[in-house]
Amino acid sequence: MGSTSAANHGGGGVGRRDLIKRSAALGLLTLPTAGFLSACASSGGDSQDKAKAGKKTAQNPLAVNDTAQMEFVLFDGGFGKEYAEDAVKIYEQNFPKAEVKFSATQKIQSTLQPRFNQGTPPDLIDNSGAEQMDMGVLVGKNQLADLTPLLDAPSYDDPDKKVRDTLRPGIVEMGQFDGDPVWIFYYAYTVYGVWYSQKALNALDEQYPETWDQMLAVCAKAKKKGIAGWTYAGKYPYYIPFSLYPMIGKVGGRDVLDAIDNLEPNAWKHPAVKACFEAYYELYKKGYILKGTPGLDHIQSQTAWAQGKALFLPNGSWVENESANVIPEDFDLAVSAPTGLDSSDRMPFGTIWASGAEPFVVPAKAKNPAGGMEQLRIMLSEASSKSFTAKVKSLSAYNGGTTGIILTPGLKSGQAALEKAGDNVVNPRIQDWYVKLQKEQIGVAGLGEMMAGRMTPAEAITKIQGFADEAAKDTSIKHYKHQ
């Protein structure tokens, strides 16, 4: 919901929400199939062939067996694989007797589900993309290893600092579901919001709109010049929440988003939700959405936007890298926090969703879990973080790693948006706690239908509330709540 592509936002990602105080949110997660849900229930395999522990030293604080194979499967998405390959080379240098098996695929679930069932999963997985495995299911079925040993290990660059002390705020908490164990490590740090060309706004003699009346006025002006106000990934309309959720939080306050995450009765019927749905629906009604958008995938919508056919695009910061081949050099890429309604909003303009994305996991039945965690420890060095940021135009979970790097326009704009937000960063968890609900039901059956004009805001809210109520009653899924 990460590096992300539709596929991955999710995520990351479908990728993956809390920054500063509530800090890093998640990259969109993705739809599990029924087969995977049932498959996770069986835990097959055994752990008899786990690698024996190696010798614990200052250079090897996780006691990695220096002759054991380490297998790493990466999601091959918007971030590419070069950054991971660079980190694998360091592992190979540090453990020259160990064979490293590295592969990248977009089909995470279909490739790895059978191996989870057989008890033979890899040692480290970048669980992202449209075929991302459902995190809630993996955690609920005890399929993942607790990453606390990694977080408590000395950091790669400074033995006096633990890994956890080198991370951006909110990263550790994002990997938790119920209390202390940390099951997931979000390696990328994503800014979600409304992406646009500053050059295009300048040509209209406009600033980024802070109120909805201003948004409609900018879209009206663009329409007169033959430019649509908005486009989005119509085939993956769960991208719409990247700007809609923080807008709901801005209008109604954090508690509204928490109630939605907690599956509270009538959470979706809050006046702030209604007002924001109606605002977005107005974009459709006034003809401010690029014609044909409901039929576009993420790449097609991003390309149309980069070509200047639409001003605004709800997306995550992976879009700069993912669309690098279509964004013109003079585009002047920028991101903003969502436009609000008016001065009565509960939170200030600048309220944004920023998050950990690109979720990495070490399976509980991995043969070499220490090796998988060591590979992550290497990736959290300053050098690896710099390599990641320079190559994929995204911040990493490592709190730093930008010194000496010329920041690209999107990255620079994202950092400025985070600074402007300060503590006003929201953390919607519904997309990682309830993947099917978020993507298939809220995203496609609710928001997708409304934005295509096939459903009114009132109908969409009723439908989505029904889906949320069903999820709340469903005893077959694990339920989570904000503490």
- Asked whether the predicted pLDDT for residue 219 surpasses 90, the reply is yes
Helix (H, G, I), strand (E, B) or coil at 358: strand
148 burial type by CB count under 10 A (0-12 exposed, 13-18 middle, 19+ buried): middle
Helix (H, G, I), strand (E, B) or coil at 155: coil
* Burial per residue of 159-198, b for 16 or more beta-carbon CB atoms within 10 angstroms, e otherwise: eeebbbebbbbbbbbbbebeeeebbbbbbbbbbbbbbbbe
pLDDT at 91: 98
pLDDT tens per residue, range 220-238? 999 999 999 999 999 999 9
- Asked whether the predicted pLDDT for residue 77 surpasses 80, the reply is yes
Chain centroid to Cα 134, Å, comes to 13
Distance of alpha carbon 74 from alpha carbon 80, whole angstroms: 9
Q: What value does the mean pLDDT take over residues 58-85?
A: 95
Chain centroid to Cα 347, Å, comes to 23
Q: Are 474 and 437 in contact (CB under 8 A)?
A: no
* Domain locations along the chain: 18-190+356-406
409: confidence class by pLDDT, cuts 50, 70, 90: very high
Distance of alpha carbon 200 from alpha carbon 271, whole angstroms: 34
Rounded-to-5 percentages of helix, strand, coil across the chain: 40, 15, 45
Q: Which residue has the tokens 């004009």?
A: 453
Distance of alpha carbon 412 from alpha carbon 125, whole angstroms: 29
Backbone φ and ψ for 372, nearest 5 degrees, come out as -60, -40
pLDDT tens per residue, range 299-356? 999 999 999 999 999 999 989 988 999 999 999 999 999 999 999 999 999 999 988 8
- Asked whether the predicted pLDDT for residue 43 surpasses 80, the reply is no
pLDDT at 393: 84
pLDDT at 241: 97
Distance of alpha carbon 25 from alpha carbon 3, whole angstroms: 14
- Asked whether the predicted pLDDT for residue 163 surpasses 80, the reply is yes
Q: Are 25 and 355 in contact (CB under 8 A)?
A: yes
84: confidence class by pLDDT, cuts 50, 70, 90: very high
Q: CA nearest 381: which of 135, 94, 104?
A: 94
Number of residues that this document lists for the chain = 483
pLDDT at 26: 28
- Asked whether the predicted pLDDT for residue 33 surpasses 70, the reply is no
pLDDT at 134: 85
pLDDT tens per residue, range 367-408? 999 999 999 999 999 999 999 998 888 889 998 878 888 889
Q: What is the dotted CATH code of the domain comprising 18-190+356-406?
A: 3.40.190.10
Helix (H) / strand (E) element for 282: namely helix 271-285
Tell me how far CA of residue 387 lies from CA of 13, 167, 402, in angstroms. Answer: 21, 16, 10
**And the tokens for 460?**
């969409």
Q: Are 436 and 37 in contact (CB under 8 A)?
A: no
- Asked whether the predicted pLDDT for residue 180 surpasses 80, the reply is no
38: confidence class by pLDDT, cuts 50, 70, 90: very low
Give 131 or 197, the one with higher predicted confidence.
197
Amino acid sitting at position 275 = A
Distance of alpha carbon 339 from alpha carbon 335, whole angstroms: 11
Percentage of residues in the chain having pLDDT higher than 90: 73
pLDDT tens per residue, range 436-463? 899 999 999 999 999 999 999 999 999 9
Backbone φ and ψ for 66, nearest 5 degrees, come out as -75, 0
pLDDT at 405: 87
In the chain, what is the greatest distance between 2 CA atoms, to the nearest angstrom? 70
Quick one: residue 63, left, alpha or beta (phi over 0 = left, psi -120 to 50 = alpha)?
left
Percentage of residues in the chain having pLDDT higher than 70: 90
124: confidence class by pLDDT, cuts 50, 70, 90: very high
pLDDT at 6: 38
pLDDT tens per residue, range 354-365? 888 899 999 999
Pairing of strands 18-19, 23-24: antiparallel
> What is the DSSP secondary structure assignment for residue 398, as one 8-state letter?
B
DSSP string over 82-144: HHHHHHHHHHHHHSTTS-EEEEEES-HHHHHHHHHHHT---SEEE--STT---HHHHHHTT-B
- Asked whether the predicted pLDDT for residue 36 surpasses 90, the reply is no
251: confidence class by pLDDT, cuts 50, 70, 90: very high
Average pLDDT, the chain: 89
Q: What value does the mean pLDDT take over residues 88-115?
A: 96
* Burial per residue of 252-267, b for 16 or more beta-carbon CB atoms within 10 angstroms, e otherwise: bbbbbbbbbbbbbeeb
Distance of alpha carbon 432 from alpha carbon 60, whole angstroms: 33
Q: Which residue has the tokens 């009565």?
A: 344
- Asked whether the predicted pLDDT for residue 45 surpasses 50, the reply is no
